[in-house]
């Protein structure tokens, strides 16, 4: 399993607009392409000072690239919700990959920085898809993550049920929010469980194999 930092040039992005104006931390918890549309549906978590949350939400509602906004939960300094965007080529490329977006931040005019968890193969596929769709993307950093312990019984149960319900299918047969309801936990908590669980599965699978990026580096 690897963690990658990818710089992406995006002419439009609601995330870039928000973090450029507010001291906010945005996490994209789930992302999927919308059928019959150039846009995507994104489940997000925003960390921001409670005093600025109303202003931020008003800006989201006025954003010309957001088709619809659904706020699921607001609690202290956290906003959980989803947006349907009108267009986002870079996001559509990501939505079709088997990579996991752990954070997004703006680093300059039209520039976004993605932190991504993936296998080597899926990272290569994502970078190829971005290039083929005309998205300017640069791989800035790749870190091989250390192997952690095996899955807990709870992680194993959740991942197995998610698999059986079609969460990992493409297109997905279920999404993060209804699945979280089934388990009686928040979408943010479920996303974290799935990410950690998949990370451990990948690490176990690649343990002892030579890295395709550097034949001298091995996953142990």
pLDDT in tens, 109-127: 678 888 887 888 888 988 9
First-residue to last-residue Cα distance in the chain: 11
Count of residues for the chain? Answer: 220
Q: Does 149 score more than 50 pLDDT? A: no
The label of the residue with tokens 């104006």 reads 21
Mean pLDDT of the region 143-150: 58
27 is written with which tokens?
């996490």
* Least confident residue range of 7-11, 23-27, 149-153, 177-181: 149-153
Cis ω on the peptide bond leading into residue 56 (within 30° of 0)? no
**Nearest in space to 121 (alpha carbons), one of 211, 24, 207:** 211
Confidence of residue 139 (pLDDT cuts 50, 70, 90): very high
Q: Tell me how far apart the alpha carbons of residues 13 and 199 are, in angstroms, rounded to a whole number.
A: 28
Contact 192, 27 (CB under 8 A): no
Token pair for residue 22? 């507010």
Instruction: Specify which residues 7 forms β-bridges with.
Output: 113, 138
User: What are φ and ψ of residue 171, in 5° steps?
Assistant: -70, 155
Tell me the three state secondary structure of residue 57.
helix
Cα distance between residue 59 and residue 155, in whole Å:
37
pLDDT: is 166 or 219 the higher one?
A: 166
Mean pLDDT: which of 85-94, 111-120, 153-162, 173-182 is highest? Answer: 173-182
pTM: 0.56
């Amino acid at each position: 399993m690897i963690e990658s930092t990818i710089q992406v040039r995006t002419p439009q992005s609601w995330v870039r607009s928000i973090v450029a104006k507010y001291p906010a931390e945005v996490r994209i918890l789930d992302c999927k392409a919308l059928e019959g549309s150039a846009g995507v549906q994104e489940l997000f978590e925003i960390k921001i000072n409670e005093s600025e949350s109303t202003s931020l939400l008003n800006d989201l509602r006025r954003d010309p690239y957001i088709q619809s906004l659904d706020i699921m939960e607001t609690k202290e300094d956290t906003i959980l919700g989803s947006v349907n965007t009108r267009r986002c080529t870079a996001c559509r490329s990501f939505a079709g990959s088997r990579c996991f977006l752990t954070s997004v931040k703006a680093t300059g005019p039209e520039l976004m920085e993605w932190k991504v968890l993936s296998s080597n193969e899926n990272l290569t596929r994502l970078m190829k898809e971005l290039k083929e769709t005309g998205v300017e993307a640069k791989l800035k950093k790749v870190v091989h993550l250390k192997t952690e312990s095996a899955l807990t019984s709870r992680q194993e149960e959740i991942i197995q049920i998610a698999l059986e319900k079609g969460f990992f299918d493409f297109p997905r047969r279920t999404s993060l929010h209804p699945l979280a309801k089934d388990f009686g936990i928040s979408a943010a908590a479920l996303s974290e469980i799935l990410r950690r669980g998949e990370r451990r599965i990948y690490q176990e699978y690649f343990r002892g194999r030579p890295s395709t990026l550097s034949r001298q580096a091995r996953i142990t």
